[in-house]
Amino acid sequence: MIVAMKEGTSRSEAEQFAETLKKEGVAVHFSEGASRIVLGLVGDTSAVNGENLKAHHLVEKVIRVQEPYKRANRLFHPADTSVEIRTAGGTARIGGGTLGIIAGPCSVESREQIVDVARAVKKAGAAFLRGGAFKPRTSPYSFQGLGCGGLDLLLEVKKETGLPVVTELMGIHQLELFADVDVIQVGARNMQNFTLLRELGRCGKPVLLKRGLASTLTELLMAAEYIMAGGNDRIILCERGIRSFDNYTRNVLDISAIPALKRQSHLPVIVDPSHATGLSWMVPAMAKAAVAAGADGIIVEVHNNPEAALCDGEQSLTPGAFSLLMDALRKYADIEGKRVS
Amino acid sequence: MIVAMKEGTSRSEAEQFAETLKKEGVAVHFSEGASRIVLGLVGDTSAVNGENLKAHHLVEKVIRVQEPYKRANRLFHPADTSVEIRTAGGTARIGGGTLGIIAGPCSVESREQIVDVARAVKKAGAAFLRGGAFKPRTSPYSFQGLGCGGLDLLLEVKKETGLPVVTELMGIHQLELFADVDVIQVGARNMQNFTLLRELGRCGKPVLLKRGLASTLTELLMAAEYIMAGGNDRIILCERGIRSFDNYTRNVLDISAIPALKRQSHLPVIVDPSHATGLSWMVPAMAKAAVAAGADGIIVEVHNNPEAALCDGEQSLTPGAFSLLMDALRKYADIEGKRVS
Amino acid sequence: MIVAMKEGTSRSEAEQFAETLKKEGVAVHFSEGASRIVLGLVGDTSAVNGENLKAHHLVEKVIRVQEPYKRANRLFHPADTSVEIRTAGGTARIGGGTLGIIAGPCSVESREQIVDVARAVKKAGAAFLRGGAFKPRTSPYSFQGLGCGGLDLLLEVKKETGLPVVTELMGIHQLELFADVDVIQVGARNMQNFTLLRELGRCGKPVLLKRGLASTLTELLMAAEYIMAGGNDRIILCERGIRSFDNYTRNVLDISAIPALKRQSHLPVIVDPSHATGLSWMVPAMAKAAVAAGADGIIVEVHNNPEAALCDGEQSLTPGAFSLLMDALRKYADIEGKRVS
Amino acid sequence: MIVAMKEGTSRSEAEQFAETLKKEGVAVHFSEGASRIVLGLVGDTSAVNGENLKAHHLVEKVIRVQEPYKRANRLFHPADTSVEIRTAGGTARIGGGTLGIIAGPCSVESREQIVDVARAVKKAGAAFLRGGAFKPRTSPYSFQGLGCGGLDLLLEVKKETGLPVVTELMGIHQLELFADVDVIQVGARNMQNFTLLRELGRCGKPVLLKRGLASTLTELLMAAEYIMAGGNDRIILCERGIRSFDNYTRNVLDISAIPALKRQSHLPVIVDPSHATGLSWMVPAMAKAAVAAGADGIIVEVHNNPEAALCDGEQSLTPGAFSLLMDALRKYADIEGKRVS
């Protein structure tokens, strides 16, 4: 950590300030320039709160050289982490050379719908079934999901198809209900719901953590760190589009987040082209781009009748379109030396 | 609501589509242009899900003419709403011609600190005491607040000073603890924690609802609508800065949100210049700007020793600086024909 | 075009307003709702200025259904346009099934450098040579390019290698100097330099038009329309990253702009992964993603000694890395049914 | 300037690297940490190109402590600069305790219009007349201004009223035409038209430099530095709204840019609430906020008949509304200890 003192700070003032820093267990090096003194803090600076240092009247700037997350940091864990789920038929995997494909409807709407879609995506090659039971909706007057009934349908279909289930948790009060869910999804709007993250750190289940609409990559990794600090390192990071000034697509899918996150962290990174674009015709192009850029998987919406969907129909692929996409993704995975789960 | 059909859609196809719309209780008007048919939906369109309509293969665009919120809408409630809290000494008010001033430290740190700050801000003219007991921090390794102990200290100081207390709730599991809190704050990162909003709709307490860092004004008003749909209309909207590409200030305080929100909604609107800028020297300029633009109040951080603060010291005013700011705000309120609470 | 009148506007007021609209050559349809009147403008609305209509005291909202550009619009020109340059050895092409690869250094620095790089990129398979002679730099104190001398070197190397040359024009006063340049580049900061665009409409040369850092797709297409309105339709659109709140990469490469632009326009779309990311190690991932998403080409920086580059060395590939990237791109083009130029 | 070397860089490698830095005239201090070496560059680092250093394979991060502009920097010029224009009646001033008010129509449309508006704004207290002769329009099919004829009308009205004239230059080819213009405006889209900036550095006339829609404050100050490097320091900085994800207002007026720019630079800072919001009813609130936050002036659109304006009518004040705004601004200026020019 680098601390630049304000112009005019004297050597003795800087030394006095350095004494308070040393109490936090770090060594302090001095660089005395023509116009200002710069301090280099050496040692474990994760205990030092840079924001607090800025409050000091002699401090001009505080700059972190090392990222503030540890467990999520590739520096301390060079090998790729993969997340694995034991299934009836074997093991479903995301990361570590396996492209994990998660597919299903935005919302569970009926037994018929979820069974139809589950069978179709399984046949096409998906390894996980997604489906919302509790839906976070911008309007209190929109369809809010089937709730517990939807969850029951998902678990029923899981039994029938053997597909592990990925579904979104809205709050810690629902944790018990999710006992048989395979991967718990944290939505973009909950990425910094720290109460929830802390609780998930204790639950031992894989967590699919979606990037907030205006969250930096560092903030996403700090959210992962919250979960990992509790002892749970089975985390899948998910890029799902960020807010921008253009509104042709619902959000801007930040494909560069894939190589950026994978360089900084050992955790697997997947992409949600359906929510990012909001446009079903654009989903295949963006799914292929994600794989080309190194993604460890895709989470994509598939509906047996998008025009009648209760939620997000305009972004859902038909089973036929999904099957064609899978054919393309297999070719891309092949070039990148990955297998499709 | 306007629905533009795709080019090439025939009149009979459009009429068939219109029949499905009429089932949702709206009338449909036709505009047949040279190149396309445009439908005008007339009646209560809040039941019609525009997103779903977009999924239809004949639909090109869907445009809402009327905003999707009702209870928060000034159209149906032309008079300003003010939020009032009964106190030992009378009534503290925000909105309706009263400039409500909320001041206090970022975090409650000790009895001495909170007593000192509370006395100082009361003396300078603040009508509410703020202070965090449970803190949402980006890093799991940062100071997370004193928790229940902090809450106890706040309530103790409330008794002593008579100042009503504003403090942040992190999740619905804490609701019981907040029985004696006067105004419950929902942080920017929880603005779309719909589980929390729904619960607050039932609790009857005033809610200070902060705008998310990348939330549109419509999304903020929809979040208010969630609370109001449950029967609680004692809501104070709070602008606290949005994410942008520049990082000189922590966020960009969107001063234009004040007149924009007040035109669309009857709810009071306040501003948090401390979190928005992250720079204590900039707080007075932005607080004055907010009042000049029509804000109903200010929530501002004051610390008796900013350099030693455990949290956000670099954005806290000293009691002396706060007192000077209050002098200026009184003059501004005067010009705008408002009284300071 | 849809015009929603304010609540309370009477039928006769709306009819009077409609009369003024009819003078602009459009027909006007009425939809009379419960709470407001909505007008549908039918005919050629490109002559109607929506912004001006908003100034009318009875108008609430104005909504364009059809995009405001014509010559760039795929609606009126369904087939893909490709841009072709006659060369000594045949024809270099971008678009229409051909992946056009443009490579070279950020700046021309010396004869030796530009010759070395040109030979290397030609050998690896590039069809065009890029290189800056006049450089737009944020600081007046940074290296501003070799100017005319740089241009001469580019043209010399063009003769030797046969590679057509792509280089940036800074203003219309330079147009004469660019007589032998094959493709004129308009930089992101000049995308709305309307004087320049208008002049390029008359010059007949292919134009590589870069998207501004905060320009919408519609604005980019309107900038193309400026050039096309003058009679020049040899335009290559280029996505090169947009401004966002995160600064891990220099900008966020908006990969979804590729399918979005190609759906709206018939013009070829290429991507600049070097300027977008500013990080050479990330360039291959983003170049592959662009091709996977349907790009018609890539413009990429290559330097024979990035560490000694006078400009943007941290984003330049070595010739060896570029050659490996070309191998990968050929495989990707193959899957997408394209040939590499 | 701070250079953090990559982990694993040896002391001797770092020393070798430091030798190359010393050749650029700076001294280098070493901080050797547990995991990496950090170099502090001391001396005049404006000659050192940080971007280039990042290209070195041993460099992890490069951090500037000092801003890269000099002439615009308050550090080297602590006193406020004011821009003054000699007029028939005396001196018109912006900055240094004087609130400069610039008002007039978006475009000059006719002699009658510009005479009417000029008289009205003069009477209400404006010190400068604005009006566009050459208009930068997003669409090639929109009204592009009266051109030279518009310029002639402006100069005629200047003679009649004595108001100095502010108008926008589109390119260096127009410089001669602007000989009698008092303040040359550089539009937001031209803020980084470096050819233009360089030329304006030589012309000696005051320049009103508008911030680009997605330009950082540092970039704005670097654009000013371009002009100042040529010897012209009569520059007025203008905040006119930045791009964001919300579109209730056309742009987000960044009021915090006022105190931020004034802390970093000695140049006067004004605000354009008309273009920023695009909504005439919001202009007074934002103009007052700007003055409250410390602005040195306002540039505001006034039209004698906004509903019939050929350009931007929806954001223009009527002469009556402008006169009321001036009354309010005088009160605000009074509180802030400023006089209205």
Q: Read out DSSP for C197-255?
A: HHHHHHH-S-EEEEPPTT--HHHHHHHHHHHHHTT---EEEEE--B--S--SSSSB--T
Q: Could you tell me the residue range of the domain that residue C334 belongs to? A: 83-340
Judge whether residue B330 has pLDDT over 70: yes
Q: What is the pLDDT of residue A56?
A: 84
Tally of residues, chain A: 341
Task: Find the closest chain A residue to C250 by CA distance.
Answer: A256
Could you tell me the CATH number of the domain that includes residue D37? 3.30.70.1140
Please report residues of B whose CB lies closer than 8 A to that of D246. 216-217, 242, 254
Instruction: Choose the closest CB to D293 out of B254, B286, B331.
Output: B286
User: What sign does the CA torsion over B57, B60, B65, B69 have?
Assistant: positive
Burial class for A43, CB neighbours closer than 10 Å (0-12, 13-18, 19+): middle
Q: What is the pLDDT of residue B313?
A: 78
Burial class for C78, CB neighbours closer than 10 Å (0-12, 13-18, 19+): exposed
Instruction: Choose the closest CB to C249 out of A256, A277, A293.
Output: A256
Percentage of the residues of chain C whose pLDDT score is greater than 90: 72
Judge whether residue A11 has pLDDT over 80: yes
Gap between the Cα atoms of C130 and B150, Å rounded = 63
CA distance D244 to chain B (A): 7
Task: Find the closest chain D residue to A2 by CA distance.
Answer: D2
Judge whether residue A44 has pLDDT over 80: no
Gap between the Cα atoms of C237 and C207, Å rounded = 8
What single DSSP character describes residue A213?
Answer: T
Percentage of the residues of chain D whose pLDDT score is greater than 90: 72
Gap between the Cα atoms of B7 and B124, Å rounded = 65
Between the alpha carbon of residue C25 and those of residues A63, B36, C22, C65, the distances in Å are 61, 17, 5, 17
User: Are D193 and C193 a contacting pair at CB < 8 A?
Assistant: yes
Six token digits for residue D24: 């650029």
Let me know whether C220 and C256 are in one domain.
Answer: yes
- Is pLDDT larger for residue C192 or for residue B28? C192
User: Are D286 and B259 a contacting pair at CB < 8 A?
Assistant: yes
pLDDT tens, position by position, D92-108: 999 999 999 999 999 99
Gap between the Cα atoms of C297 and A63, Å rounded = 39
pLDDT tens, position by position, D313-330: 789 999 999 999 999 999
Q: What is the pLDDT of residue D34?
A: 65
Average pLDDT over residues A143-162: 95
Task: Find the closest chain D residue to A213 by CA distance.
Answer: D245
pTM score of the predicted model: 0.93
CA distance B250 to chain A (A): 11
Q: In what order do the strands lie in the sheet with B27-32?
A: B27-32, B37-42, B2-5, B59-63
Burial class for C43, CB neighbours closer than 10 Å (0-12, 13-18, 19+): middle
Task: Find the closest chain C residue to D227 by CA distance.
Answer: C140
Average pLDDT over residues C201-210: 96
Let me know whether D304 and D171 are in one domain.
Answer: yes
Between the alpha carbon of residue C130 and those of residues C176, D52, D195, the distances in Å are 19, 20, 21
What is the average pLDDT value for chain C, to the nearest integer? 92
User: Are A38 and D35 a contacting pair at CB < 8 A?
Assistant: no
Task: Find the closest chain C residue to A220 by CA distance.
Answer: C246
Q: What are phi and psi of C59, to 5 degrees?
A: -95, 130
Percentage of the residues of chain A whose pLDDT score is greater than 70: 99
Taking Cα atoms as reference points, which of B267, B227, B327 lies closest to residue B95? B267
**B208 and B184 in contact (C-beta within 8 Å)?**
yes
User: Are D292 and B292 a contacting pair at CB < 8 A?
Assistant: yes
CA distance C284 to chain A (A): 8
The last residue of one of the domains, among B63, B93, B111, is: B63
- D214-251: b or e for each residue (b if 16 or more CB lie within 10 Å)? bbbbbbbbbbbbbbbbbebbbbbbbbbbbbbbbebbbb
Gap between the Cα atoms of A84 and A91, Å rounded = 6
Average pLDDT over residues D249-268: 97
Contacts of B157 (CB under 8 A, 6+ apart): B114, B115, B118, B129, B163, B165
Let me know whether B31 and B104 are in one domain.
Answer: no
Which of the residues A57, A106, A138, A274 would you substitute to probe the B interface, choosing the one with the greatest number of B C-beta atoms within 10 Å? A138
Q: Which chains touch B (3 or more CB pairs under 8 A)?
A: A, C, D
SS3 content of chain C, % helix, strand, coil (to 5): 40, 25, 40
Could you tell me the CATH number of the domain that includes residue D97? 3.20.20.70
Let me know whether A18 and A130 are in one domain.
Answer: no
Continuous segment of H or E residues that includes residue C167:
strand C165-168
pLDDT tens, position by position, B41-52: 877 776 677 777
Confidence of residue B292 (pLDDT cuts 50, 70, 90): very high
Q: Where are the beta strands (DSSP E) in C71-142?
A: 83-87, 90-94, 98-104, 128-130
Confidence of residue D76 (pLDDT cuts 50, 70, 90): confident
Judge whether residue D33 has pLDDT over 80: no
Task: Identify whether D74 is part of a domain.
Answer: no
B283-292 helix and B319-335 helix, angle to the nearest 10 degrees: 20
User: Are B192 and A192 a contacting pair at CB < 8 A?
Assistant: no
Task: Identify whether A70 is part of a domain.
Answer: no
Task: Count Cβ–Cβ pairs < 8 Å, chain C vs chain D.
Answer: 121
Task: Identify whether A117 is part of a domain.
Answer: yes
C111-124 helix and C148-161 helix, angle to the nearest 10 degrees: 40
Let me know whether C161 and C53 are in one domain.
Answer: no
User: Are D332 and B252 a contacting pair at CB < 8 A?
Assistant: no
User: Are A60 and D65 a contacting pair at CB < 8 A?
Assistant: yes
The structural domain count of chain C equals 2
**D139 and D337 in contact (C-beta within 8 Å)?**
no
Cα R_g (chain C), whole angstroms: 23
Let me know whether C152 and C265 are in one domain.
Answer: yes
Task: Identify whether D287 is part of a domain.
Answer: yes
Let me know whether D166 and D218 are in one domain.
Answer: yes
Task: Identify whether A75 is part of a domain.
Answer: no
Let me know whether D250 and D132 are in one domain.
Answer: yes
Confidence of residue A220 (pLDDT cuts 50, 70, 90): very high
Name the least confident of A315-324, B50-59, B192-201.
B50-59
Task: Identify whether C78 is part of a domain.
Answer: no
Percentage of the residues of chain B whose pLDDT score is greater than 70: 99
Q: Where are the beta strands (DSSP E) in chain B?
A: 2-5, 27-32, 37-42, 59-63, 83-87, 90-94, 98-104, 128-130, 165-168, 183-186, 207-210, 235-239, 269-271, 297-301, 339-340
- Is pLDDT larger for residue B14 or for residue A36? B14
Contacts of B56 (CB under 8 A, 6+ apart): A307, B17
Strands A83-87 and A90-94: antiparallel
Please report residues of A whose CB lies closer than 8 A to that of B307. 55-57
pLDDT tens, position by position, A247-287: 899 999 999 999 999 999 999 999 999 999 999 999 999 99
Judge whether residue D18 has pLDDT over 80: yes
Please report residues of C whose CB lies closer than 8 A to that of A282. 256, 259-260
Please report residues of D whose CB lies closer than 8 A to that of A27. 33
Confidence of residue C47 (pLDDT cuts 50, 70, 90): low
Judge whether residue B75 has pLDDT over 90: no
Neighbours of A35 (CB within 10 A): 12
Let me know whether D331 and D200 are in one domain.
Answer: yes
Task: Identify whether C77 is part of a domain.
Answer: no
Taking Cα atoms as reference points, which of D56, D21, D47, D58 lies closest to residue C309? D56
Which of the residues D219, D246, D265, D332 would you substitute to probe the B interface, choosing the one with the greatest number of B C-beta atoms within 10 Å? D246
Name the least confident of A40-49, B252-261, C198-207, C262-271.
A40-49
User: Are B313 and A226 a contacting pair at CB < 8 A?
Assistant: no
| Residue B31 identity (one-letter amino acid) | S
Let me know whether D218 and D292 are in one domain.
Answer: yes
Percentage of the residues of chain C whose pLDDT score is greater than 70: 99
Task: Find the closest chain A residue to D252 by CA distance.
Answer: A245
Judge whether residue A235 has pLDDT over 70: yes
Between the alpha carbon of residue C312 and those of residues B120, C78, C248, C300, C335, the distances in Å are 54, 39, 16, 12, 32
Instruction: Judge if ipTM > 0.85.
Output: yes
Q: What is the pLDDT of residue A47?
A: 67
Confidence of residue A42 (pLDDT cuts 50, 70, 90): confident
Taking Cα atoms as reference points, which of B243, D242, A295 lies closest to residue C255? A295
Judge whether residue C103 has pLDDT over 90: yes
Taking Cα atoms as reference points, which of A225, A236, A231 lies closest to residue B142? A225
CA distance A310 to chain B (A): 7
Average pLDDT over residues A82-94: 92
Task: Identify whether B69 is part of a domain.
Answer: no
| Diameter of chain C measured on Cα atoms | 76
What is the average pLDDT value for chain B, to the nearest integer? 92
pLDDT tens, position by position, D119-133: 999 999 999 999 999
CA distance A253 to chain D (A): 15
Q: What is the pLDDT of residue A6?
A: 87
Q: What is the pLDDT of residue B335?
A: 94
The structure tokens 């239809």 sit at: B56
Judge whether residue C42 has pLDDT over 90: no
Contacts of C178 (CB under 8 A, 6+ apart): C151, C167, C169, C184, C205
Task: Find the closest chain C residue to B4 by CA distance.
Answer: C65
Instruction: Choose the closest CB to D289 out of B245, B276, B289.
Output: B289
Average pLDDT over residues A130-136: 94
Instruction: Choose the closest CB to D307 out of C47, C56, C214.
Output: C56
Q: What is the pLDDT of residue D20?
A: 84
Let me know whether B25 and B161 are in one domain.
Answer: no
Q: What is the pLDDT of residue C34?
A: 65
Let me know whether C128 and C250 are in one domain.
Answer: yes
Judge whether residue C300 has pLDDT over 80: yes
Coil/strand/helix, residue A329: helix
User: Are B173 and A195 a contacting pair at CB < 8 A?
Assistant: yes
